[in-house]
Amino acid sequence: MPIDGLFISPALQSLRLTMDESALRQQAISSNIANVNTPGYQRVDVSTAFQQAYSDAMTRLSNGESVDAMPDASIETAAVQGPARPDGNTVQIEQELVGMAQNSARYEFAGQMLTQNYHQMKSAISGQF
C-alpha cells in the first residue's frame, strides 16, 4: 500500500469530513448568536447542498468507498425558521446554544479519534506498540 493510502482510508476521511462539517456549522451558529438582537435577521445554517453531499459521502465511506470531492462548503439562510419575534428575527438563542454544545462535542470527539489514529500509525511506524 503506498503511503498516500494510509491517509485516505475511509475512517480518516470520515473523521476529516466530520470535523470540516462541524467547523462550518460552528460558523453558522456563531453568526446566529452574534445576530440574536439584529432586527429582521434570518437564522442561517449549513447549505442543504453541502448537508446532502456530506450525508452521501458518509454513506459511501461506511461502505468502504472513497470520496473524491465535496461541494463548496457554504452557509445560507436556514430552510426551516423558528417563529419570528416582533422585530422579525428568527434566532432562538436556547436552540443555538444547544446546537453549539452538540456540535462542539462532535468536533472534539472526531478530533480525538483522528489523533488516536495518527498516534497508532506513529507507534506502528516506530515499532513502539
How high is the pLDDT of residue 14? 87
- Max mean pLDDT among 54-58, 60-64, 71-75, 110-114 falls in 110-114
How high is the pLDDT of residue 2? 44
What nine digits make up the cell of 52?
446532502
How high is the pLDDT of residue 6? 60
Q: What gap in Å lies between CA 120 and CA 17, rounded to an integer?
A: 20
Q: What is the DSSP letter of 46?
A: E
Contact 49, 15 (CB under 8 A): no
Domain boundaries of the chain, sorted by first residue: 3-126
How high is the pLDDT of residue 49? 86
How high is the pLDDT of residue 125? 81
Say yes or no to pLDDT of 32 above 70.
yes
3-class DSSP state of 111 = helix
